[in-house]
Structure 1
Amino acid sequence: MAGEIQQGIGRAASVLAVLGASTTGPLRASDIARATGLGTSTTARLLGTLEELGYVTKAADSPSYAIGATILALASEGLNQNPVHRESRAPAQELAQRIGLSVNVGVLDGSSLIYLCHFEGALAPKSHSMIGLRQPLHASALGKCLLLDLDADGLRALLGDEPLPRYTANTITEHAALAAELAVARERGVCMEDQELALGRLGIAAPIRDANARVVAAISISGRLSLMRERDLDVLTEDLIEVADRISVGLGLISAIPSS
C-alpha cells in the first residue's frame, strides 16, 4: 500500500513538473501524458484529482490545464517561511529601485541555485519572474558565491568530476579554473559573471552569511552588458556588499569574518 501511495505521489509530481515547465501555456491531457510517459487514462485521473484539490486548473475555453491557485499559495507560504527571503526582500527591492537594474537573491538547492527574490529596476524590466527558477552554479555570479565555502574536494563532490557544462565561450568549464576564480572572489568579496551564462549579460554577486558566518545565500546585480559598462562597477560593488552585509546581520551575523 505504501508503495502504491508513493507511486501515485510521484506520478502527480511528474504531471505538475510538466505543467510548471511549459513555455507554451496550458497543456492538454494528451500532451501531459506524452511528456510524462503515463497512460492517457492514468493522466486523466490524476488531473481530475489535482483539479479537485486546486493544484491544477482547467482553462476556461479549452480542455487544457495549468498550475492552480493552491500551488501559488503554497509557493507564497514557502517563501514567507524562509528566513533568507524575509530578511532580503526589502533590501533587495530597495537596491533595485535605487540603481535601476535587476537584483536577485538565490540559495543552494542540490547542485544548482534557485531564485528566492527577483526585483527589476526601471532599466531592466522583464515580462516574467525569476523566482523559483534554477541556474547552474559555475556559470553565474550568484552560483559562484554559493560555492565560496567549499574547497576543491567539496566542489568536485557537489559538481562532479566531469568538465562543467558550457553555455557561452566565456563559461568556466574546468574545475581548476573555477577554484582559481573562487580564490580571487574570496579576496575581493564578490563574484563576477561576464557573459558566462548568456551573451550580453554582466553580473556581480556578494555572499549572504548566517550567524555562523556560513554562506547561505547570495545577492546579485545584473543587467545588459551595455548598461552595466555605463555604470561605475566599483560603486555598484560597494553598494551590493553593504546590502549583503545588512541581510547577513538580519540573519544573525554579528562578528567579523577572518580572511582566509
Structure 2
Amino acid sequence: MTLTHEPTAPYHSAQDALRVLETVARHPTGVTGTELARRTRLGGERLTGLLRMLRREGYVEQLTDGTHVAGEALARLGSAHRRDQALRAQLQRTLDRLRDSVGAAVYLSRYVDGEVKVTQYAAGPGMPVVNEWVDFRHSAHATALGKSLLGQLDHNGRRDHLSRHRAVRLTSRTITSDRQLLSRLAAQPPTVPVLDLQEYAIGTVCAAVPITAGSAAGCLALSLPVEHAHRLRQAADTLNRNAAPVLLSLAI
C-alpha cells in the first residue's frame, strides 16, 4: 500500500511546531522568542501562533522572565515509560477541545493493516456519536472518515480495500459503484474536507480531514444530526484548521 496525498496545512503547522519544540528542548534553562525566531526562521506572527498552541497543549511553558522551556506533556511523550498511555491521554484532551470548538462529536481514525479503525473519539451532551449500525471496517465507502482514509491510499490500495469490503447500499444516498467511488476519491482535493451527507445513516451528516503521520493514513472526523447540516462545512473547516495538535502528538 502506498500513501498518495499532498501535505495539508495542519501537516505544515505540525512540522513547524516540531522545529520550535526541538529548539526549546535544546535550551533546558529557557529560550527567548527572539532566539526561537532566529533559529527556526519562522516569522513573528507564525511563531506567536505556534507558541500559543504549544502552551495550550502543555508542550511548552513560559517562565516569568518570558523565556520558554519544555512542558510536562513533552516530557511525558518523550519518555519511553508508559508512552502509549500518555499519548492516548494527550490525544483525548485535544479531541475534547476540538469537540467543544466545533460543537460536534469528533473522531480520530487510522488505516491499520488494511482496515479502518476508530481509535478515539470525543462526544458530549447534544453532540452524540454516530450509531455504528454497520461496522466502520465494512462501510468505508459510505462514511466520511472511511472515504478520507481511502483517499490517502494509491489506486491499488483503494481497489484492494473494495475487493475485501463490497460497497453495499446503506441508504438511498450510498455510492455502490466501485467505478464511481474510485472516480470521486481520485478527484477529491486533499485540502478539502470529505463529506458524508446521509450516505452511512439517515439523520446524520459527517465530515473528515486527513492527518497522516508516518506511514499510516489517518483522519479527523466529526458528525452532526441532520438538523444541524447547515453547520457542517464551517465545522469541518474549523476541524481542519485545528488539526495540527493531533498530528503533532502522533509525530513526537
Which TM-score applies when normalising by structure 2?
A: 0.57
**1:157-196 maps to which residues of 2 (within 5 A)?**
157-160=160-163, 164-196=167-199
- Which amino acid is 2:250 matched to? L
Once the two structures are TM-superposed, the CA of residue 172 in structure 1 deviates from its matched residue by: 1.4
Aligned equivalents of 2:224, 2:235: Cα separation in 1: 12
Q: 1:141 to 1:84 in 2, by over 3 A?
A: farther
Paired position in structure 1 for 2:96: 93
**1:1-260 maps to which residues of 2 (within 5 A)?**
81=84, 85=88, 88-125=91-128, 134=137, 136-160=139-163, 164-211=167-214, 214-229=215-230, 232-252=231-251
Aligned equivalents of 2:106, 2:250: Cα separation in 1: 19
Paired position in structure 2 for 1:63: none
Once the two structures are TM-superposed, the CA of residue 123 in structure 1 deviates from its matched residue by: 1.8
Match of 2:209, SS state, is: strand
Paired position in structure 1 for 2:22: none
Asked which structure has the greater CA Rg, the reply is 1
- Which amino acid is 2:224 matched to? G
Once the two structures are TM-superposed, the CA of residue 143 in structure 1 deviates from its matched residue by: 0.8
Aligned equivalents of 1:247, 1:133: Cα separation in 2: 21
Match of 1:236, SS state, is: helix
Tell me if the contact between 1:165 and 1:173 (Cα under 8 Å) persists in the aligned partners.
yes
CA RMSD of aligned residues (A): 3.3
Which TM-score applies when normalising by structure 1?
A: 0.55
Listed as ranges, the gaps of 5+ residues in structure 1 are 1-78, 254-260
Q: 1:227 to 1:80 in 2, by over 3 A?
A: farther
Match of 2:142, SS state, is: coil
Paired position in structure 1 for 2:35: none
Tell me if the contact between 2:112 and 2:216 (Cα under 8 Å) persists in the aligned partners.
no
Larger RCO (alpha carbons 8 Å, 6+ apart): 2
Aligned equivalents of 1:103, 1:89: Cα separation in 2: 10
Once the two structures are TM-superposed, the CA of residue 127 in structure 1 deviates from its matched residue by: 11
Structure 1 range deviating more: 187-196 or 161-170: 161-170
Q: How many residues align?
A: 170
- Which amino acid is 1:160 matched to? S
Aligned equivalents of 2:168, 2:229: Cα separation in 1: 25
Match of 1:192, SS state, is: strand
- Which amino acid is 1:182 matched to? L
Aligned equivalents of 2:132, 2:178: Cα separation in 1: 31
Q: Give me the identity figure in percent.
A: 23
Listed as ranges, the gaps of 5+ residues in structure 2 are 1-81
